A and B are shown apart, each in its own frame.
Chain A
Amino acid sequence: MDRRESLKILGIGSLQASLLLAGCSGRSGSAGQKAMPVELYGRTAQEAAYDASLHAETFFTAHERKTLAGICDWIIPADGETGGATAAGVVDFIEFIVKDQPPLQLPLRGGLGWMDITSRELYGRSFIAATRNEQAALLDKIAYPGKVEKDFLAGAGFFNQVRNLCTTGYFTSKIGLKDLGYMGNTPNAWDGAPEEVLKEYDVAYDPRYLHLYVRPEDRGTLMTWDDHQG
């Protein structure tokens, strides 16, 4: 495959490309192209229309959304370096996913209602209007599945669900992926686990195989099977 052609397809710059495209012949090309728009992710016309129809609907009321945002920022708050759940777009994600997966709608709506009812019973005001200390005290009653009192079981079930969605939403966001330290989804030449990692876990590449594994420097060399027998 022509090197420039591959670059264009991948939409990446020339720096990574020199290693990556060692296998492609042809003259070296200029740097990559501009980034793809976010919404382009290989949808068929039907799929794109379905996404658009979900985006056009609104599920949560303004109050529900505010409550959800408050809870999500308790689950994953900002720290010194990294924004929290709402900064990561988690509420938008949950708004979308409940429309995409309607069975989630009842437990989330009901759960948000339960939070307000319970907060009013305990503190005389809705969850989002309660003080930070009051909010935390209520969350403490539903956030630890092993020690939930009977009257708070419904809240605990709701909290499990929100915690799952919030955690997924955060760690699949741009800032969450960085926070997690995920380093993939980028062209590279795999050459095994780093030496210090092998040492840490007391494992080694089998010497019987070592000469058989692919070497990054051979990635551009056409395979001929000269030394193979059928």
Chain B
Amino acid sequence: MGFEIIEREEAYDVLIVGSGAGGGMAVKTLSDAGLRVALIEAGPDYDPADPEQQTQLKWPYQSPRRGAGTVRDIGEFTASLGGWKIEGEPYTNTKDTEFRWYRSRMIGGRTNHWGRISLRFGPDDFRRRSIDGLGDDWPITYDDVKPFYDRVDKMIGVFGTREGIYNEPDGFFLPPPKPRLHELLVQKAAARINIPVIPARLSVLTRPISKSRGVCFYCNQCNRGCSVYGDFSSSSVLIKPARKSGHVDVYTNAMVREVLTNAEGLATGVLYIDKTDLQEYRVRARVVVLAASACESARILLNSRSARFPNGVANSSGMVGRYLHDSTGAVRSAFIPQLMDRKRYNEDGVGGMHAYIPWWLDNKKLGFARGYHVELGGGMTMPMYGFGFGIQALNGKYPDKNGQQKPAGGYGLSWKEDVKRFYGATVSFAGRGESIALESNYCKIDPATVDKWGIPVLQFHYQWTDQELKQARHMHDTFEELIHQMGGVPNGEKPGESEQYGLAKPGAIIHEVGTTRMGNDPSRSVLNKYNQAHDCRNLFVVDGGPFVSQADKNPTWTILALSLRAAEYMIDQFRKKNL
């Protein structure tokens, strides 16, 4: 580290920290309005069309580890530089907490590898306290956000169908792809027990929406980053065009340490450490926007301490870091004997499910307050590391082609035949639900630990409650019922109470939100309803932090809509000379 801070001479209207969904939308919207923008990203540049970085359409044998997740947590072809563990960037947990924090350090952040599931929150999702007395209502309603969802749909593209389900609002949809075989089988089975299966809603271009992006060519690899920009990632769809405007300077490998404030308590810029030269730099701007991810933005605020803001900037309420919550998750797979010896054809499809189960029940009758949706998996997918593991648990249970029962295991040509017979005969069900946001679940600064840049790290404290456990148990009951209806055989054992009903560890679903929540009461919230800090009018947060509650929906579409809304509010405030 150098002895002194190096001053960047450029002066910006807006400085944005982080380039994921929220940061990308802010960069695009503000630079389109002619404002001079600095984008500061903690990782390197990334473009899925760059042959040096491209993983799309690679074969498993092009990797010596056949795609195993040794280097990249979710598989090495995944367009994600980072993971739950990053060398030199630790975090800690309090006793009895196992929070896992997934970070992607690169332009576009986690939108490069995300599942593309693009669900609007519904009217009920903004007023849960009014419905069940738990958590809090948002300071805004669905009607406030709807026009922004509409514009995000058209700007970015999402396929789906208009279903008219009250709390699963319809949007401007591209035509969806036809379901795959296993999805049709799930649909048929689910219909018998009155569980709806509807076309998925994914931000994948089944038809073009502009000349600057290609259309989907059905390789099932959205998670690898699309080299024709046929799906949504912030890097390809928002930041790439914004950079062409000439109004945006991008600082990569720049790790922000704190937000700087002046004597009047206004933000003046940020301090960052350049990872390539280990020097500390100061950049100034009239407005600072944090979009570093819910937990990283909270970390920056908590680390921005001064005489005026002894608990960190924008934290007079003490709410920064609190109300941290992730989606719940549980998964079960099953073997479907009917699908043995399948006819082969290209079943890749888009990079995710073509059909899913939206929440369909009334919580008043269930003993837990919030719902979940179910994501479907299966099909004749590309073999990767792990393919064929454990077939010895199956091949003794089912007679071979000639009706002969064989002992489990084996070797030789009959073993090879068995592996081929079972290909594409597995389906999986993944529940993703809403947890209750609690003040008692939080991240805070761990004063005893710093990262390799010398910045104090986060410590997490997070406990699931009976609400989430009961919901996970219900998910597993649903999965078994569906598997039974399909004539399938569930894999493994159904997790019981001692396994927390298979409920994923907090952070594992990578939907963590709530750490800088919005609200009308400055003593109980960090931001106002325009994502603007109560304590500091030229400081905004536009990632998942502002969420009051996570619905049983994936957060990205709502992050995009709220960031667009906040950016336009900023533009308006600039015009009115309030910023």
Contacts and interface: CB of A to CB of B under 8 A. Distances in A.
Interface string B411-451: 11101100110010000000000000000000000000000
Interface string B177-207: 1111100110110000000000100000111
B412 A184 contact: no
Given A145-B409, A222-B207, A167 B389 contact: yes
In the A-B complex, the 5 residue pairs with the closest CB atoms: A167-B388, A192-B178, A23-B215, A181-B344, A172-B60
Contacts of B174: 214, 223
A174 B57 CA distance: 14
Which of B185, B205, B207, B380 neighbours the largest number of chain A CB atoms within 10 Å of its CB? B207
A150 interface: no
A95 to B, nearest CB: 9
A30 interface: no
Nearest to A169: B66
Given A74-B412, A187-B217, A212-B161, A40 B388 contact: no
Contacts of B215: 21-24, 219-220
Contacts of B57: 10-11, 185-187
Interface string A82-98: 00000001001100110
Interface in B38-95: 44, 49, 51-55, 57-68, 70-71, 76-77, 81
Contacts of A41: 55, 58, 62-63, 77
A184 B419 contact: no
Nearest to B206: A214
B207 A163 contact: no
Contacts of A194: 343, 345
Interface in A172-214: 172-174, 176-177, 179-194, 196-198, 200-201, 203-206, 209, 212-214
A147 B409 CA distance: 10
B388 A203 contact: no
A214 B175 contact: yes
A187 B387 contact: no
Tell me if A's interface is mostly helix, strand, loop or mixed: loop
Nearest to B229: A1
A117 interface: no
Contacts of B70: 100-101
Interface residues of A, number: 93
Given A184-B380, A192-B177, A209-B161, 7 more contacts: A79-B413, A97-B65, A163-B409, A172-B60, A184-B348, A190-B349, A220-B215
A96 B65 contact: yes
A55 B228 CA distance: 33
A144 B407 contact: yes
B382 A185 contact: yes
16 contacts: A10-B217, A21-B214, A139-B411, A168-B383, A172-B60, A172-B383, A180-B423, A184-B220, A184-B346, A187-B57, A190-B349, A192-B178, A197-B343, A218-B207, A223-B157, A230-B172
A145 B408 contact: yes
Interface in B137-194: 146, 150, 154, 157, 159, 161-162, 171-181, 184-185, 187-188
A61 interface: no
A25 B390 contact: no
Contacts of B224: 42
Interface in A96-113: 96-97, 100-101
Given A9-B228, A180-B420, A182-B382, A190 B345 contact: no
Tell me if B's interface is mostly helix, strand, loop or mixed: loop
A200 B343 contact: yes
Given A36-B51, A230-B172, A160 B392 contact: yes
Contacts of A214: 159, 174-178, 206-207
B426 to A, nearest CB: 14
Interface of B: 44, 49, 51-55, 57-68, 70-71, 76-77, 81, 146, 150, 154, 157, 159, 161-162, 171-181, 184-185, 187-188, 199, 205-215, 217-221, 224, 227-229, 338, 343-350, 380-392, 396, 407-413, 415-416, 419-420, 423
A10 to B, nearest CB: 7
B405 to A, nearest CB: 12
Nearest to A76: B416
Contacts of A42: 52-55, 58, 77, 224
Given A190-B178, A222-B207, A77 B420 contact: no
Contact of B184 (A89, A183, A203, A223): A203
Contacts of A200: 343
A44 interface: yes
A143 B411 contact: yes
B68 A185 contact: no
A181 B220 CA distance: 17
A146 B77 contact: no
B180 A193 contact: yes
A7 B445 CA distance: 49
B346 A1 contact: no
A144 B396 CA distance: 9
Contacts of B60: 172, 177
